[in-house]
Each structure stands twice: as C-alpha cells, then as structure tokens.
Structure 1
C-alpha cells in the first residue's frame, strides 16, 4: 500500500472527503464501489478513455505507486477536483482528477478526467 498524505482542508466537507476518496481509489488506495459509478460513466485519461462502470474499475492500475500526496480538493455543485503529487519509483508527477457527478449529492460518478504531468517535486 502506498504512503498517503491527505489534504488538510477536507475535514469539514463530506463532499470534499468523497472526492478525495475517489482520487485515492483511482490509485488503488481504498475501494471504489461499483454502484458509485454510473453505468455509462467515462474516464478520460492519458492512457486512453474507458467507458462504462466495469471498464473504469478494470482500468485502475496501482502497480508501482509508492506515494500519493493530495494537495488540494475543491468541490462545487456537481463537480470536484483533486490535485497533488504521485510517486512511482523515483518519478514524482503532478496529477489532477476532475470528477463530474450525476447530481449535486455526489453519490454517483458520471465522468472522470485525469491528468499527470512530470516535474512534481
């Protein structure tokens, strides 16, 4: 299991906590329950877009992840973003996950858009 450093500002917002949990689950830290992903959800990412609940769950690949540090979590209405740094081996990269929910209650994911960028020292 990777070392995890959580954002300090999530404690007072259940929706921010939910967004942070989703981002961590995309890196294999914790589970992303199947029923929390809409049947026709899409995950746009550098490795290629995947569509559908099962395809998204199957695309999660935590291999080689040593550390996940969450710097910022922001949610508003039906959307949220989680950014920070991810370390695989000696390579640390910046990341950002944009999460769009099916409703403002943030119970089900409609779309994920994920970016990673070199230079996350």
Structure 2
C-alpha cells in the first residue's frame, strides 16, 4: 500500500463550502459564481515525485478560473488561471484557514487585473 493510499485527505466540510460561497457572493454578487467540487492530483510539496489526490473547489468568473486545493486536514492552497499556462498563485505556501486562502487569491487576482488595465492605457 502506497503513502497516498494510506493518507486520504478528507473532503471540504459544509462550513468550508459555505464560507467560500459567501465570500464569492460578497465579491461578485449572489448567483454570479457556482462552486464545483473536484478531485485533483497535485504535488503537495515542490520536491515531491508522486502526485497526491486532493479535494478541490473550483469556480470561474468571466474569463478566469479559480481553484482551492485542500492539502491537509486544515491546510489549503489557492490559485487562478486564464489558460493552462497562465497560472497564478499567492506568495503564501499554505494557508491554515480557508477564508484567508480565498481572500488572498481574490486579492492577487484583483491586483493583477488592475495592473493589466493600467498597462493597456
């Protein structure tokens, strides 16, 4: 039995999903985004050779896709992307609070969008 078979990361709690949905509703308005649950395979740490299956929350808004990975009991990573190669994360390796993770991802996205709009002027 491999390490990944022994170490199963539990799904997001209803409280986690509610927190994320409320945050998105506050950011863009109620009903503008819909959370999707997924399982993804990622490297938990930069030096890992094997992939680990983790639960993820996915949503999109306009032309941006967002994902929050649950990488431990109370540990999260977040990123967003436009196309496969245009991926952006945060400067924080892991978050121990899902709200902090989502708010930081949304802030990095807003900052990037602001910078892109200023560059095009």
Regarding TM over 0.5, the answer is no
Structure holding more strand per residue: 1
- Report the TM-score range of the alignment, normalised by the length of the smaller protein: 0.3 to 0.5
> Larger C-alpha radius of gyration, 1 or 2?
2
TM-score under structure 2 length normalisation: 0.33
TM-score with structure 1 length normalisation? 0.33
Task: Give the number of the structure whose residues are more often helix, by fraction.
Answer: 2
